[in-house]
Structure 1
Amino acid sequence: MEPVFPFTVVLPSRSQGTLTHALHQQLRSAILDGRLPADSPLPSTRRVAEALGVARNTVVTAYDLLVAEGYLIPQKGAKPVVADLARRRATKPSKSKVDIKESRFAPIWRAPFLQPSPPRMLPERSFRLGIPDHRHFPHAIWRRLMAQTLRRSSREQSAYAPSQGIPALREAIARHIAFARAVTCTADDVIVTSGAQQAFDLVARLLVTPGQTKVAVEEPGYPPVRAAFAAAGAQLVPLPVDDEGLCVERLPEDVRIISVTPSHQSPTGVAMSLRRRTALLDFARTHDAVIVEDDYDGEFRFGGRPLDALQTLDRDALVFYIGTFSKSMFPSLRKGFVVAPAWARSGLITVKHCADSHCDTITQSVLAAFIRDGHLARHVRHMRPIYAERREALLDGLRRELGEWMEPIPSEAGLHLAARIRKPELASAIMPKALRFAAGAESTADYAMTREIEPAVTFGYGVIDPGEITAALIDLRRALEKELGGRTS
């Protein structure tokens, strides 16, 4: 009998595997590499079965699989033909069809400012913001606690954890922030989240009435916070920031939520003055508003005694205090928390349950032990002088090398600081050089809803050593001297 295909089909013995699978895979490969050309009909299932000495159902099933996968096109009353895969790959949906499909999205999700920015390729040692130094983290301790937790969990019955987080972690967080930030709360007030971003999202879902609620945000300010409130349907009200923090006197009376970073403003680095903190709490009490306090890296202080958190000063249950372990430990941990006023606790837990019924119990248990046994407090104490040395190198370099063009903005905390450009008219010449020679640094304009802010550059020092800081700023100074010459005189 003549071959039914223009190639040899080799089938295993029935004891070695499934005949249908072997026939399907060989026909599929022949279609993909062109041995079975597009639009050519396949032999009948009866003829193939006779030629290969297999049951007809084996061939029928293999053909059906190829049809289901799109490799064959069935023909009513005729043999199936090979699909034209090249033509199918080359055909792209027209823009109109894409637009029609995207019109199914809720309008807010088509907003450009909500789209995540593509990751930037940066050297490991750079001025990038918001990244702590993993080289000094006690990885051995973390591995030991992880191993202990996994051994224990293998002996325990698996179950879903409470939506607000396991009790051990909530208790550990409450004790830690009471010690580190003087935040008064109990474990019942703490809700564990997947990073600070989920905390913003939960608070926004709970408090925002779409199209009605006005939310004051810092200008410039942290974009993901704006995104969370905008996605919930809030009307955003950008308010300027100066060297005392948010300009509270500019708050409209109909604002119902105020989002702030009082300990270390993002991105300028300033701390909100006590005068402004008191005024903000007075405004919230008088106008029935609430405050969302983002204390993302307030544990790293380099000046005198830190100002009390807004939550500590609050006597009217108006503050939602949000924290994260991304800066004190590492971002991939994805653990944050909200300290909620008692009146909002049950509502926030309900929202958390609907959005994300529970955080994983393994890393919650490990983190609880890490905090409870004092490892987090020791790690923060160990890192403070390391970050302080880098901060001093950055300040010294800005003043010595770049003082002609930039002025550091006062900052006493966190893992970044900013420098304003002394002559705004030179910003268009200075900014590109700054972002090129200080890899990872960012323009504060990237954090603004408008462009009506003073030009400044924000430098992170979480993952760059003092010598590298100095060398980069020297290179930047030379580039600016070459670019600007005598124009700065």
Structure 2
Amino acid sequence: MELHVVINGRKDLAEQLYRQLLAAIQSGRLASGAQLPPSRLLAEQLGVSRKTVSDTYALLTYEGLLVGKIGRGTFVNSQANRPARRQDAADLACAAHLAKWQSLPSPMRHPTRDGTLRCEFIGGATTRSLFPQDEWRRCTLDALRRTAQNSGFYSQPEGLPALRSAIAGHIAFSRGVNCRDTDIVVCNGAQQALDLIARVVLEPGSLVAMEDPGYTPARLMFEAVGATAASVPVDAEGIQVTQIPQGTRLIYVTPSHQFPLGMPMSQARREALLARALELGAIIIEDDYDSDFRYEGRPTHSLQSMDERGIVAYVGTFSKTLLPDLRLGYAVLPPAIHGAVVKAKQLTDQHTSTLPQWALAKFISEGYLLKHIRRCHTVYATRRERILSRLAGDLSPWFEAVPSVAGFHLAALCKGAVNIPLLIELARQVEVGLYPLDVFFHEAPVRCGLIIGFGAIETLDIDPSLDKVRDILQQIG
């Protein structure tokens, strides 16, 4: 690849080359650590003498912008100080809108690799050691062979037929979802599915009914498109349907494992919710984010399986069963909004990457997914029991667990006045990651506590970590 330098005329050649290389380094077009062409090669490309190039490299090296490495070549100095690009957002016509976006909180944002603590009780994350690397590698190699044979055209916005067929079979078997492969749109995670549905259902000022407490990233996304989120309280049976306001256009619920508290929605409440949505002419989003893992009681069908009028959009994800960084999710859509969502998907990103789609289609059809879920279920059940035992034991003076039968997080409510921010801060100092519950409350009275994920923490780390938490609680009183 040639370095983009333009030499005009035959005068001041070294000066022209120096200024262009300097500008490229300072602007970042030549990134830190980038290797420059050998002086002989660059001289041939530009039609100048090698001495002109060598002298320019030497001057930039003297100024600390380049560094020569014996036997390897000349590189942009990664330690070089670069002037900041000067642009004040306040001068832009969109300044107020930018400020609105920048002020949004980032709840549930996972730490970077460098910021991860030794023992993480973060929700929504899985243990990488449980991921079936060998099976996934075989499926990925098969996907590479398939993509090598394709036409070179863009794929379908709704996703590969093979994957949609595999998803339809899987969720019909495991969750009782009533769908065909043509009802499914493959997305980049469940969050994109929510975004696509919001784009076609909502307009600025539209009313969205949200559980409170509830999934804050969904609330923020709905509000970002101009909708108004109406907080609807929850109780032991789920969302209080009678408090869903008139004029609601979209209802977002997590009926199988209410986020973040964890209780399932009762059968009577589900029937009432469907009736209320039909009365309002509203679409229901059923976010079934982690119900593949169930530990107690009889299995419950999805809300979508009860829908006889085409008003429930069922959203699922493979981030919880496989790995979050795969970013693969899907939506089972009612006929009324399916075509519009496909158009929105095409305009947004054309389609989800086909390589992981092919790999996941084979992974599901070969039975690897169900095998992996069963394996994880055994591990998660053990971790859950260990945490519940501690919450009912030596941690019981401070916390009580909210009854929950599914997923891989649980909520622990404070029994008294516990300084949760201080507890979290002190726990981080001993490499234990704890996360507050209060960030998921909006208008409902805040109940202090912790959301305790047990997908990412190793089983053998649970007791030592909770020992440290107990000691901190005793210390702070």
TM bracket (short chain)? 0.7 to 0.9
**Among 141, 144, 159, the residue aligned to 2:138:** 144
Report the RMSD for the aligned CA atoms in angstroms. Answer: 3.0
Shift of 1:158: 2.1
Q: In 2, Cα distance between the equivalents of 1:91 and 1:292?
A: 43
1:289-304 paired onto structure 2 within 5 Å: 289-304=282-297
Match status 1:171 vs 2:165: yes
The residue that corresponds to 2:341 in the other structure is 348
Distance 1:12 1:303, change over 3 A: closer
SS at match of 1:443: coil
Residue 30 of structure 1: aligned partner: 59
The letter of the residue matching 1:27 is T
User: Secondary structure of the residue that 2:246 maps to in structure 1?
Assistant: coil
Amino acid at match of 2:387: L
Of 179, 182, 185, 1:185 maps to 179
SS class of match (1:258): strand
SS in 2 for 1:236: strand
Cα pair 1:220 1:444 within 8 Å, conserved: no
- 1:217 and 1:238 in contact (8 A); partners too: yes
Residues 1:258 and 2:248 are matched in the alignment: no
Code of the residue aligned with 1:168 in structure 2: it is: A
Shift of 1:388: 0.1
| Separation in 2, partners of 1:102, 1:128 | 39
SS state at 2:442 partner? coil
Question: Is the 8 Å Cα contact of residues 291 and 319 (structure 1) preserved in structure 2?
Answer: yes
Once the 2 structures are TM-superposed, how far is the Cα of residue 202 of structure 1 from its aligned partner?
0.1
Q: Secondary structure at the match of 2:120?
A: coil
SS of 1:395's partner is helix
1:126 and 1:24 map into 2 onto residues whose CA distance is 53
Number of the residue aligned with 1:478: 471
Q: Structure 2 length as normaliser, TM-score?
A: 0.81
Alignment of 1:82-93 (within 5 A): 89=83
Distance verdict in 2 for CA 1:25–1:462, change over 3 Å = farther
Task: Quickly say closer, same or farther: Cα 1:5–1:351, change in 2 above 3 A.
Answer: closer
C-alpha distance in 2 between matches for 1:278 and 1:90: 58
Offset at 1:286?
1.5
Is residue 396 of structure 2 the alignment partner of residue 403 of structure 1?
yes
Q: Out of 291-300 and 464-473, give the one that drifted further.
A: 464-473
Structure 2 CA distance for partners of 1:26 and 1:250, relative to 1, 3 Å = farther
| CA distance, structure 2, for counterparts of residue 471 and residue 216 of structure 1 | 41
8 Å CA contact 2:255, 2:288 repeated in 1: yes
> Given that residues 127 and 458 in structure 2 are in contact (C-alpha distance below 8 angstroms), is that contact kept between their aligned partners in structure 1?
no
1:101 matched to 2:92? The reply is yes
- Give the structure 2 partner of residue 80 of structure 1: none
Alignment correspondent of 1:432: 422
CA distance in 1, matches of 2:41, 2:314: 68
Specify the SS of the correspondent of 2:104.
Answer: helix
Q: Give the superposition deviation at 1:440.
A: 2.8
Q: Alpha carbons of 1:214 and 1:92: their partners in 2 closer, same or farther (altered >3 Å)?
A: same
Is 1:195–1:336's contact at 8 Å kept on the other side of the alignment?
yes
2:411 corresponds to 1:418: yes
Equivalent position SS for 1:216: strand
* 2: CA distance, partners of 1:463 / 1:264: 19
Tell me the CA shift for residue 288 of structure 1: 1.3
Matches within 5 A, 1:328-343: 328-343=321-336
Secondary structure of 1:442's counterpart equals coil
- Contact persistence 1:301–1:414 (CA under 8 A): yes
2:180 matches 1:206: no
Corresponding residue for residue 57 of structure 1: none
Structure 1, unmatched stretches of 5+, are 37-84, 485-489
Whole-Å separation in 2 of the counterparts to 1:476 and 1:14: 61
Structure 2 partner of 1:442: 435
Residue 239 of structure 1 corresponds to 232
Per-residue CA deviations over 1:279-316 (Å, capped at 9, x if unaligned) read 11111011211111111111000012222211011111
Give SS of 2:347's match. helix
Which residue matches 1:375?
368
1:458 aligns with 2:451: yes
Q: Are the structure 2 counterparts of residues 434 and 15 from structure 1 closer, same or farther at C-alpha, using a change threshold of 3 Å?
A: closer
Residue 360 of structure 1: how far off its partner (Å): 1.5
SS of aligned partner of 2:211: strand
Query: Which range is displaced more, 436-445 or 172-181?
Result: 436-445
Specify the code of the residue in structure 2 equivalent to 1:130.
Answer: G
Q: Percent identity?
A: 35
User: Which amino acid is 1:112 matched to?
Assistant: S
Q: Say yes or no: does 1:159 pair with 2:125.
A: no
Q: Is 443-452 or 292-301 further displaced after alignment?
A: 443-452
Q: Deviations over 1:327-359 (max 9, x none)?
A: 001111111000000111111111111111111
Paired residue secondary structure (2:433): coil
> 2:43·2:49 contact (CA, 8 Å) conserved in 1?
no
More displaced 10-residue stretch of structure 1: 119-128 or 287-296: 119-128
**Structure 1, residues 116-171: CA drift from partner, whole Å, max 9, x if none?**
78753222542111111221221111111111221233234322111000110000
Q: Given the two structures, how large is their TM-score scaled by the length of structure 1? A: 0.79
* Larger gyration radius, structure 1 or structure 2: 1
Q: Which amino acid aligns with 1:437?
A: A
The residue type paired with residue 206 of structure 1 is V
1:359 to 341, 352, 369: 352
Paired letter, 1:433: L
CA contact (8 A) 1:256 1:290 kept: yes
- Taking the TM superposition and a 5 Å limit, the aligned residue runs for 1:317-332 are 317-332=310-325
- Counterpart-to-counterpart distance in 2, 1:222 and 1:35: 50
Cα shift at 1:11: 7.1
Q: Contact between 1:269 and 1:418, CA under 8 Å: does it hold in 2?
A: yes
In 1, the alpha carbon distance for the partners of 2:209 and 2:174 equals: 28
Structure 1: distance between partners of 2:64 and 2:184: 64
SS in 2 for 1:291: strand
Preserved contact between residue 434 and residue 476 of structure 1 (Cα < 8 Å)? no
In 2, distance between residues paired with 1:313 and 1:205? 25
Matched residue, 2:68: none
Q: Distance in 2 between matches of 1:185 and 1:118?
A: 32
2:104 pairs with 75, 94, 113, which one? 113
Q: Which of 210, 217, 239 is the equivalent residue of 1:217?
A: 210
For the residue of structure 1 that corresponds to 2:248, the secondary structure is coil
